[in-house]
Amino acid sequence: MAMKHRLVFGCALVALAILAQASAQTQITIGQSTSGSWQFQGAGATTVSLSGSCGVSNCISGLGYFGASAGTYSMWITGSNPTLTATSNPSLFAVNMNGGTLNFSFSLGSSSLTGTIVLTTLKDGTLAPQFLGSLRVTGSTGVFASLWTVASIVPFDLTLSIPSGSALVDQVVSGTAASTSATNSSGEILPVPEPSSIALIGGGLLVAGSLLKRVRRK
């Protein structure tokens, strides 16, 4: 019986690993920015803006990847700029979008994905702060159409790179530095999970959890 449990448990983990690998192969990976940078200015409610232009101002752009294929992305802010404020965690800052919009566009040949990004938090304390939030899809064509349906909302993360020797974002928020800037380093946009994939993941987790409970009882 123990052998059977180990076999089922192993199959569940393999299924989860296969799904994770498939997701990684179909996600959009955000590469280093080639134009523009993030600007953080002012103590307290620190203003977040972008220094470049991509047909509009307040923009940052660079190369992105879908599998092994390279395309180009742009992010630009319209309306009010977001702000950062401190939380009880000294390395975690809340993002207030202030009614502004962070637009996103990724093009790969004749395929494109567009959306709006809502940033919620910034993890800081190093030269590689990380934005966390979500992307709401507003347009999806070509190879992206089956992976990101319009109006779907998917997780979004973006790691920045602050030049060595520059002030950290938390120093700007606290007022010990007037400003700092950063470029895009890496990030990802995951596809919308298919119902069958969600069911398989859930089933795998239930099986694994059930077997772990049995082992603990013994």
Q: What is the pLDDT of residue 26?
A: 82
Confirm whether 12 is domain-assigned: no
In this prediction, residue 192 carries a pLDDT of 87
Q: Does 42 reside within a domain?
A: yes
Considering the domain boundaries, does residue 201 fall inside one? Answer: no
* 202 occurs within a structural domain: no
pLDDT above 70 as % of the chain: 77
Domain count, the chain: 1
Kindly state whether residue 216 falls inside one of the protein's structural domains: no
User: In the prediction, which pLDDT does 193 show?
Assistant: 79
- Phi–psi pair at 217, nearest 5 degrees: -65, -35
Residue 125 placed within a domain: yes
User: In this structure, what is the dihedral angle of CA atoms 99, 101, 102, 108, given to the nearest 10 degrees?
Assistant: 160
List the structure tokens of 73. Answer: 């992305």
In this model, does residue 194 exceed pLDDT 90?
A: no
Q: Please, what's the b/e burial string for 79-118 (b: 16 or more CB within 10 A of its CB; e: otherwise)? A: eebbbbeeeeeeeebebbbeebebbbbbbbeebbbbbbbb
Q: Which residues contact 92 (CB under 8 A, 6 or more apart)?
A: 121, 122, 123, 124
Domain that holds residue 54: 27-196
Global pTM value: 0.79
**Per the domain annotation, does 22 fall within a domain?**
no
State the average pLDDT over residues 123-148: 96
Q: Assign 126 to helix, strand or coil.
A: coil
* pLDDT-derived band at 18, boundaries 50, 70, 90: very low
CA–chain centroid gap for 206, Å, is 27
Given this model, what pLDDT does residue 218 score? 54
pLDDT digits 0-9 by tens, 36-66: 999 999 999 999 999 999 999 999 999 999 9
